[in-house]
């Protein structure tokens, strides 16, 4: 009892000392900062998520801390593939095919590549992301009957790039907790638990309705939340003059004059007769020296001829128009494709 009395007295004394000590004043700079609006309130969980950006393709997104990029280890993997459309050359996904897909998405239609990702048909749809449209899908198996996969994908195109986002969950985290969608296929897969393919659509419907097991539902919902954070922005895209100039151009000032750019060669024709064939390149600056580097986006066209070089500055180069300034005289050569 005596000990309790002593403790009460000590607490009372400390409290009294605290009362009479001078109170610290509020920091005026903190007050001004909070009132200025520069202190952004945390409005949702995504404000604290990790940030990813690709400046070339012109987009950014956020993803939760329990999701890791595919180069790391974890249960929820986020894979982000960004590829130049010009570099796509595998069957069904080369540049020609992909440009058709780009146009389909612009028209809010699914691309013709349906089935090539092994997507579950019921899951495939056009999804709006700002001013763009993307192709959304779910992949639950591919290649063979024993494969069990959990992927949600979004494919879109921007700045001449193809972007494929994939959120993948480790299959053991779902299969073990949702046995009603799987079966034992000893004939084809031994003792391995595999999909009951007749129940894949129901698996997807239950996820859409938010009625699935926690791990599967978290994987499904996190994908939607990640996609909702995507921001598309415009970046300055360098013109690839070496590609854009390829083709046949007719002079607007002399109807008999035609020039063709093909495979690094500039061929001049007059009245249908070939007059010269010379190698050409683009450079960032002039004069060209042995140390100068060729650059597809450079604005200076240099043509090697027998007695030296001919130098031009690209004034305008589009799908239909080619205007060159002949250096050093400055006269303009105008062409139409």
Give the pLDDT score at 74: 58
Q: What is the DSSP letter of 103?
A: H
Domain ranges of the chain: 2-36, 45-232, 241-336
Give the pLDDT score at 34: 52
Taking the C-alpha atoms of residue 265 and residue 305, their distance in angstroms, rounded to an integer, is: 11
Contacts 24+ apart (CB under 8 A), 109-116: 110/135, 111/135, 116/92
Please list the pLDDT of the chain residue by residue as tens digits (337 residues). Answer: 445 444 444 445 445 444 444 444 455 545 554 554 444 555 677 788 999 999 989 999 999 998 988 755 557 899 999 998 888 887 667 788 888 888 889 889 998 776 678 999 999 999 999 889 999 999 999 888 999 999 999 999 998 899 999 999 999 999 999 999 999 999 999 889 999 999 999 999 999 999 999 999 999 999 999 999 999 987 655 678 888 999 999 999 999 999 999 989 999 999 999 999 999 999 988 888 877 778 877 889 999 999 889 999 998 888 889 999 999 878 889 999 9
CATH, domain range 241-336: 2.40.128.280
Give the pLDDT score at 41: 55
Strands (E), the chain: 50-54, 59-63, 67-69, 76-84, 125-129, 132-139, 151-158, 161-169, 182-184, 193-195, 231-232, 247-251, 257-262, 265-270, 273-283, 300-305, 308-317, 321-327, 332-336
Domains 45-232 and 241-336 share a fold: no
What's the gap between Cα 44 and its chain centre? 24
pTM: 0.60
What topology is assigned to 45-232 in CATH? Protein Transport Mog1p; Chain A (3.40.1000)
Determine contact, residues 225/46, Cβ cutoff 8 Å.
Answer: yes
DSSP 225-282: HHHHT-EE---PPPP-HHHHT-EEEEESS-TTEEEEEETTEEEEEETTEEEEEEEEEE
Determine contact, residues 175/155, Cβ cutoff 8 Å.
Answer: no
């Amino acid at each position: 009892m005596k000990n309790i009395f002593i403790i009460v007295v000590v607490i009372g004394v400390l409290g009294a000392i605290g009362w009479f000590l001078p109170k610290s004043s509020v920091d005026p700079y903190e007050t001004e900062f909070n009132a200025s609006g520069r202190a952004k309130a945390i409005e949702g969980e995504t404000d604290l998520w990790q940030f990813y950006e690709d400046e070339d393709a012109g987009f950014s997104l956020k993803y939760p801390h329990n999701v890791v990029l595919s180069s790391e280890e974890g249960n929820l993997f986020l894979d982000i593939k960004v590829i130049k459309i010009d570099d796509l050359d595998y069957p069904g996904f080369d540049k020609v095919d992909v440009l058709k897909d780009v146009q389909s998405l612009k028209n809010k239609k699914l691309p013709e590549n349906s089935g090539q990702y092994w997507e579950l048909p019921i899951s495939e749809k056009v999804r709006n992301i700002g001013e763009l449209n993307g192709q959304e899908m779910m992949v639950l198996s591919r290649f063979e009957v024993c494969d069990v996969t959990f992927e949600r994908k979004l494919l879109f195109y921007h700045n001449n790039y193809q972007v494929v986002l994939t959120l993948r969950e480790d299959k053991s985290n779902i299969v073990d907790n949702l046995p009603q969608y799987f079966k034992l296929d000893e004939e084809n897969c031994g003792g391995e638990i595999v999909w009951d393919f007749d129940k894949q659509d129901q698996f997807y419907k239950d996820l859409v309705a938010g009625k699935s097991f926690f791990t599967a539902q978290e994987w499904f919902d996190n994908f939607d939340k990640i996609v909702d954070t995507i921001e598309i922005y415009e970046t300055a895209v360098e013109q690839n003059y070496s590609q854009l100039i390829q083709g046949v151009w007719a002079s607007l000032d002399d109807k008999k004059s035609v020039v063709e750019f093909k495979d690094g060669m500039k061929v001049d024709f007059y009245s249908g007769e070939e007059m010269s064939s010379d190698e050409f390149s683009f450079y960032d600056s002039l004069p060209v020296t042995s140390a100068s580097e060729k650059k597809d986006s450079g604005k200076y066209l240099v043509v090697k001829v027998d007695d030296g070089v001919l130098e031009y500055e690209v004034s305008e180069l589009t799908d239909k128009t080619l205007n060159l300034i002949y250096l050093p005289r400055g006269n303009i050569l105008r062409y139409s494709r």
